[in-house]
Structure 1
């Protein structure tokens, strides 16, 4: 199956990769590393074509943002989060660390407190 990596703001094709299993395609909010580049997946779209009266899946287009996975990214509660997910100000998101100190790190924040 063909996977298209597309730039999120312009829909420009970055690269295409081939995978064997559909379950290997990352969902939004996950990082994907190909070669020496790392991407954050923001959207996932399926591409179909009509063949002999039936639709078949031909490709998956991933809308991505070129981004290195932060060192303080943690797998928490079934998803990636940046920073300390136990802090009450943490956004619990792979895109934003928190409202108080979004650039981080959490260890420098004077407002860090448990939920």
Structure 2
């Protein structure tokens, strides 16, 4: 396994609650926190990505990648902000500009029917 690159390493996918492994997968892309992935007919939100390294021949080498996920539905409302997708309408003053949290006022959405919507004037 010494000559494998990090993107070809099997990635262990771990469900956070109830905690259990969903298996090891070689992805052809790099899932990051806030991304969604489909696995075994279910959609999951990526919460955390961990890398583990091993010292071998005086060098640290990536030897394991773990993704911590939770069951989720793909959000219908998303906004592109500075090259990344965030939940909800980013033009609202209360939007968290996060891949994981829409806002504190109406975290489950939808933004289009939210009584607290205020345009962001900045």
Place the TM-score, normalised by the shorter chain, in its bin: 0.7 to 0.9
Give 2:78's aligned residue: 73
Q: Which stretches in structure 2 are left out of the alignment for 5+ residues?
A: 1-8
RMSD of the alignment, in Å? 2.2
What TM-score, normalized by structure 1, do the two folds share? 0.79
Distance in structure 2 (CA, Å) of the matches to 1:13 and 1:75: 32
TM-score by length of structure 2 reads 0.75
Please, which runs of 5 or more residues in structure 1 have no aligned partner? none
Q: Deviations over 1:22-49 (max 9, x none)?
A: xx22122222223522221111111233
Q: CA deviation at 1:11?
A: 4.7
- Superposition deviation, residue 54 in structure 1: 4.1
The CA distance in 1 between the partners of 2:55 and 2:18, in whole Å, is 27
- Relative to structure 1, the CA distance from residue 19 to residue 83 in structure 2 (aligned partners, 3 Å threshold; closer, same or farther) is closer
| Corresponding residue number in structure 2 for 1:7 | 15
Question: Is 2:88 aligned against 1:83?
Answer: yes
2:112 to 98, 107, 110: 107
